[in-house]
């Protein structure tokens, strides 16, 4: 359909086809982004050995971490330590040995005990990167697809406001007892207006975060000497080569104390949350400390670099104004600061994005299905299949990911695939099966896949109780808030899926014959 002659008609046409083109991808991005708000809590659920009590206030890196690092990462060119927080009660040791994949091990900050290899990417290493890269690394294609979807979301928000004459008036109108098409349109308008500022801000900030990928000319102009200049001046990445001469590493505890004192003297008091040791065991070793951003919106790049053998301060960095703006928007998007009210509001905002996009796609296909069937066109079937796959199909894939995690024993390895890889295979294969089902059974796909998601959600809760003895009532009263919260959200999801499935079933029973056109004309035709 060609755009109309007027500006508003052109915006309607643009809104419609931008939604059809980007809707499925946006659903996947908003879903994984919403889950990433609680990625650490998902980690605790999928990695039972890390369900520890709150960490102690004081602990020794020299005694608890360095011995493990010397043993496990003895030939690694760099290893790092993430200090414990209320959301992550363990010390995390990350390293990559030559010709091997990256490894993360957890250490009990109370005893120094090396916990068993968790064998799962869980939330922080699978769901969170999926949100912004789709795990498609070849030529950064995943970043480009997500960037295109972000631009598409901005187009959808702007064109939707311009095209809809009665948007503000109908914002106050929701008719739950009307036919399905009317309810879908009302819900689409409601979520579109109610959460408009959040959706606009989150989409724009997502694009700005990865500006260097989308607009490389900016960094080339600002930093003509290349990426090394960018890394040093904007991000504070100090570097020097290894000497080839061995030397013992100085006390990390003393450097940690010195870092706190330096930040206090510079007017930015705070604690380190991350430590990285470069060239460990070499005389030119150096240690990087990053200041915590748990109490501020900005994901700062405040760094201190110490000599690894003497403990002398080598380099201090604070973000320049331009980089500070980019890091502020990064923090605003990724919400790594400690504020539980805002965290829940972000989650609700992200889920409302799924509702906004899903209802738009359902309304588009519902208003055209009868006409396309009479004309022998497959447009609605394709959009329906994509919508189902990106909606309940992605729910099924995610829940299969959780269920597989609870079914596979620790250290599992089948056909040369590790436990983490098997979980990802389960995610991908179940998603493909959802797509096949949506293509083969379009009339029943939404209802049946929602029912399947409900069953999987309840199964995940049951398996967690059976495999870890963390029953929901015990988790609630034992202070395991992350585990209890995860179980409760899974049960809520199961209930919502069953409710939606029931409503769809009722709508299908009461729907007019397929030969009759829809009584509600789309506003964005």
| 8 shares its domain with 53 | no
Range from 10-14, 86-90, 422-426 carrying the lowest mean pLDDT: 10-14
Range 443-450 average pLDDT:
90
Range 34-45 average pLDDT:
95
| 61 shares its domain with 38 | no
**Residue 60 structure tokens:** 């020794």
| 505 shares its domain with 480 | yes
Beta strands (DSSP E) in 294-385 are 303-307, 313-317
β-sheet bridge partners, residue 176? none
Whether the per-residue pLDDT at 92 is higher than 90: the answer is: yes
**pLDDT computed for residue 422 by the predictor:** 95
Whether the per-residue pLDDT at 295 is higher than 80: the answer is: yes
Q: Taking all residues of the chain, what is their mean pLDDT, rounded to a whole number?
A: 86
**pLDDT computed for residue 372 by the predictor:** 67
Q: Between these two residues, 328 and 375, which has the higher pLDDT value?
A: 328
Q: Which residues constitute the domain of residue 52?
A: 48-117
Q: Taking the mean position of all CA atoms in its chain, how far away is CA 9?
A: 36
β-sheet bridge partners, residue 465? none
| 26 shares its domain with 64 | no
Range from 45-59, 253-267, 470-484, 486-500 carrying the lowest mean pLDDT: 470-484
Whether the per-residue pLDDT at 46 is higher than 70: the answer is: yes
Among candidate residues 117, 140, 155, the one where a domain is terminated = 117
**pLDDT computed for residue 137 by the predictor:** 85
Alpha-carbon distance 490 to 42, whole Å? 11
| 79 shares its domain with 162 | no
| 184 shares its domain with 82 | no
Q: What percent of the chain has pLDDT over 90?
A: 50
Among candidate residues 117, 139, 155, the one where a domain is terminated = 117
Q: Between these two residues, 516 and 355, which has the higher pLDDT value?
A: 355
| 407 shares its domain with 466 | yes
| CB-side neighbour CA atoms (13 Å) of 496 | 11
Range 479-493 average pLDDT:
90
| 88 shares its domain with 155 | no
Spell out the SS3 assignment of 17-64. HHHHHHHHHHHHHHHHHHHHCCHHHHHHHHCHHHCCCCCCCCCCHHHH
Whether the per-residue pLDDT at 77 is higher than 90: the answer is: yes
| 424 shares its domain with 491 | yes
Whether the per-residue pLDDT at 4 is higher than 70: the answer is: no
Of the candidates 243, 290, 278, which has an alpha carbon nearest to the alpha carbon of residue 69?
278
Range 447-463 average pLDDT:
96
Residue 240 lies in a domain: no
Residue 283 lies in a domain: no
Instruction: Name the one residue in this structure whose structure tokens are 């809590």.
Output: 41
Crossing angle for the helix pair 39-46 and 7-36, nearest 10 degrees?
40
Question: pTM (2 decimals)?
Answer: 0.89
Alpha-carbon distance 94 to 89, whole Å? 16
Residue 438 lies in a domain: yes
Dihedral angle, C-alpha 204, 207, 208, 214, nearest 10 °: -150
Residue 481 lies in a domain: yes
Whether the per-residue pLDDT at 167 is higher than 70: the answer is: no
Range 11-21 average pLDDT:
84
Whether the per-residue pLDDT at 117 is higher than 60: the answer is: yes
Range from 241-245, 337-341, 503-507 carrying the lowest mean pLDDT: 503-507
Whether the per-residue pLDDT at 165 is higher than 80: the answer is: no
Which of 172-181, 398-407, 494-503: highest mean pLDDT?
398-407
Of the candidates 457, 460, 450, which has an alpha carbon nearest to the alpha carbon of residue 498?
450
Residue 490 lies in a domain: yes
- Position 327 confidence tier, pLDDT thresholds 50, 70, 90: confident
Among candidate residues 348, 377, 406, the one where a domain is terminated = 377
**Residue 433 structure tokens:** 């099966």
Whether the per-residue pLDDT at 201 is higher than 80: the answer is: yes
- Position 469 confidence tier, pLDDT thresholds 50, 70, 90: confident
Alpha-carbon distance 189 to 173, whole Å? 9
| 22 shares its domain with 142 | yes
Whether the per-residue pLDDT at 525 is higher than 50: the answer is: no
Whether the per-residue pLDDT at 461 is higher than 70: the answer is: yes
Alpha-carbon distance 88 to 177, whole Å? 45
Q: Between these two residues, 343 and 212, which has the higher pLDDT value?
A: 343
| 19 shares its domain with 66 | no
Whether the per-residue pLDDT at 515 is higher than 50: the answer is: no
Residue 275 lies in a domain: no
Range 486-499 average pLDDT:
95
Q: What percent of the chain has pLDDT over 70?
A: 89
DSSP at 411: T
Whether the per-residue pLDDT at 441 is higher than 60: the answer is: yes
**Residue 465 structure tokens:** 């109780």
**pLDDT computed for residue 45 by the predictor:** 94
Q: Between these two residues, 366 and 461, which has the higher pLDDT value?
A: 461
Whether the per-residue pLDDT at 513 is higher than 80: the answer is: no
Are the C-beta atoms of 58 and 80 separated by less than 8 Å?
Answer: no
Helix/strand/coil percentages in the chain, nearest 5: 60, 10, 30
**pLDDT computed for residue 1 by the predictor:** 46
- Position 3 confidence tier, pLDDT thresholds 50, 70, 90: low
- Total domains present in the chain: 3
Summarize pLDDT for 377-405 with one digit per residue, the tens: 766 778 888 889 999 999 999 999 999 99
| 67 shares its domain with 137 | no
- Spatial CB neighbours of 504, under 8 Å, sequence gap ≥ 6: 180, 446, 447, 450
Whether the per-residue pLDDT at 508 is higher than 70: the answer is: no
Element containing residue 513 per DSSP (H, E) = none
Residue 370 lies in a domain: yes
Summarize pLDDT for 221-245 with one digit per residue, the tens: 777 776 677 677 667 788 899 999 9
Whether the per-residue pLDDT at 16 is higher than 70: the answer is: yes
**pLDDT computed for residue 180 by the predictor:** 67
């Amino acid at each position: 359909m060609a755009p109309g002659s007027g500006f508003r008609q052109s915006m309607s046409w643009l809104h419609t086809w931008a939604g059809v083109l980007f809707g499925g991808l946006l659903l996947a991005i908003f879903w994984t982004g919403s889950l990433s708000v609680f990625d650490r809590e998902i980690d605790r659920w999928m990695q039972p050995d890390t369900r520890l009590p709150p960490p102690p206030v004081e602990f020794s890196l020299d005694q608890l971490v360095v011995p493990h690092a010397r043993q496990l990462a003895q030939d690694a060119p760099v290893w790092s330590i993430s200090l414990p927080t209320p959301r992550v009660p363990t010390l995390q040791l990350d390293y990559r040995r030559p010709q091997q994949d990256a490894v993360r091990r957890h250490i009990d900050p109370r005893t120094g005990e090396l916990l068993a290899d968790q064998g799962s990417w869980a939330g922080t290493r699978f769901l969170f990167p999926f949100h912004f890269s789709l795990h498609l690394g070849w030529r950064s294609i995943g970043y480009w697809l997500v960037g295109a979807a972000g631009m598409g979301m901005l187009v959808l928000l702007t064109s939707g406001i311009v095209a809809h004459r009665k948007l503000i008036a109908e914002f106050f109108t929701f008719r739950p007892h009307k036919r399905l098409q009317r309810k879908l349109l009302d819900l689409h308008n409601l979520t579109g207006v109610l959460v408009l500022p959040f959706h606009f801000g989150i989409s724009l900030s997502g694009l700005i975060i990865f500006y260097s990928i989308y607009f490389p000319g900016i960094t080339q102009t600002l930093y003509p000497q290349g990426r090394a200049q960018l890394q040093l001046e904007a991000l504070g990445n100090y570097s020097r080569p290894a000497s080839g001469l061995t030397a013992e590493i100085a006390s990390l505890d003393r450097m940690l104390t010195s870092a706190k004192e330096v930040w206090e003297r510079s007017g930015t008091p705070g604690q380190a949350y991350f430590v990285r040791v470069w060239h460990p065991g070499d005389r030119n070793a150096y240690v990087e400390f990053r200041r915590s951003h748990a109490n501020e919106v900005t994901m700062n790049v405040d760094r201190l670099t110490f000599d690894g053998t003497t403990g002398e301060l080598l380099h201090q960095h604070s973000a320049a104004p331009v980089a500070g703006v980019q890091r502020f928007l990064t923090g605003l998007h990724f919400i790594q600061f400690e504020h539980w009210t805002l965290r829940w509001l972000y989650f609700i905002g992200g889920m409302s994005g799924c509702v906004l996009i899903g209802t738009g796609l359902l309304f588009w296909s519902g208003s055209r299905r009868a006409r396309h069937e009479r004309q022998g066109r497959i447009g609605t079937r394709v959009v329906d299949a994509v919508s189902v796959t990106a909606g309940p199909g992605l729910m099924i894939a995610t829940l299969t990911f959780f269920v597989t995690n609870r079914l596979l024993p620790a250290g599992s390895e089948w056909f040369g695939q590790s436990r983490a890889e098997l979980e990802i295979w389960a995610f991908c294969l179940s998603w493909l099966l959802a797509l096949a089902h949506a293509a083969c059974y379009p009339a029943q796909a939404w209802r049946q896949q929602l029912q399947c998601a409900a069953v999987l959600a309840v199964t995940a809760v049951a398996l967690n109780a059976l495999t870890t003895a963390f029953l929901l009532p015990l988790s609630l009263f034992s202070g395991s808030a992350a585990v209890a919260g995860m179980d409760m959200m899974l049960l809520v999801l199961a209930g919502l899926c069953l409710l939606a499935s029931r409503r769809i079933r009722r709508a299908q029973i009461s729907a007019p014959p397929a030969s009759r056109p829809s009584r509600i004309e789309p506003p964005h035709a």
